[in-house]
Amino acid sequence: MKKITINDLVKWKQEGRKFATSTAYDASFAGLFESQEMPVLLVGDSLGMVLQGQNDTLPVTVEDVVYHTRSVRAGSPNCLLMADMPFMSYATPEQACENAAKLMRAGANMVKLEGSDWLVDTVKILTERAVPVCAHLGLTPQSVNIFGGYKVQGRDQKNADKMVRDALALQEAGAQIVLLECVPQELAKRITEALDVPVIGIGAGNVTDGQILVMHDMFGISANYMPKFSKNFLAETGDMRSAVAKYIADVESSAFPDDAHTIA
C-alpha cells in the first residue's frame, strides 16, 4: 500500500469515493489492516475499555496512547495514523501542544480531540505548529459524565444547528478531518455537505465520507455490549482478513452502514 496522506482523503471526498477506517492498538493487527489496504487507522482511547477493561475511556493516559501509537506505527508504516488525545490532556492550548508532540513523535500523523467550539483556539495553535487535527463531535465519550451516558447527540434542531456551526468553526481553525459519532443521519449529511474537509462517521449513517469501527466490534469480540451501529464482519466471513476486506468493500460501496446499523 502506498503511503496515505490527508491529501488523498481530500481528493477522495471531492471524487465521492468513500473510505474505511478502524481502530488499532498493536503491530500485528495494524499489519493485518495494512495488508488489506485500510487507509486510515486510529489509536483510540477506546483502548481503556477494550484492552484495559475499564468502564469508560477516562482512565487512559497520554503514555498509554503513546505506547500503542508506537506499536501500531511499527506494524503499519503507510497508513494515515491518528491518535487520540486522552481525557484532560488538552485542557489548555499549552498542555495540548506538549502532549500532541509526544503522540506525533511516537508515529502519529494527526491527533484527535473531542469537543466543540471551545477547542477553536487550541486547534488553531496546534495546526500553526504543524500538528494536524481531527475534531470529534457528537457523542464524545470523554464527556460521558456530562451526558449522563452514551446518548445520541443532535436530535433536536437547536443542538443540530450548533453542531453544524461548531464543525464549520473547527474547520476554519484548521481541523483537517471531522469525526461524527452517534448523530442522526440527516445531521451527518448536513455537516458532510457543509465541510470541505473529510468527515468520518460512526453511528452517523452512510452519508459521511468515511466510516470507522472499533476493531473489536468488527470481529465481534468486544467485552462490553455491541452498539447498534457496529457489525460483526467476522461472523459473516469466518476469517479476519476476509472480515477486514468485507468491511472496507462495504464502506466503499455504501452497503455499510445499512438501515439496520443507522441511528434514526
56 has binding-site annotation: no
- Please give the grid coordinates belonging to residue 229: 451501529
26 has binding-site annotation: no
46 has binding-site annotation: yes
151 has binding-site annotation: no
Secondary structure (DSSP) of 55-109: SSSTT--HHHHHHHHHHHHHH-SSSEEEEEPPTTSSSSHHHHHHHHHHHHHTT-S
Cell 496515505: give the residue: 4
161 has binding-site annotation: no
Cα–Cα dist 239/6, whole Å: 30
Catalytic residue among 37, 181, 193, 236: 181
- Tell me if 202 sits within 8 A of 229, measured CB to CB: yes
252 included as an active-site residue: no
Omega prior to 132 cis, within 30 of 0: no
List, by residue number, the catalytic residues. Answer: 181
Binding residues for 3-methyl-2-oxobutanoate are: 45-46, 84, 112
Binding residues for Mg(2+) are: 45, 84, 114
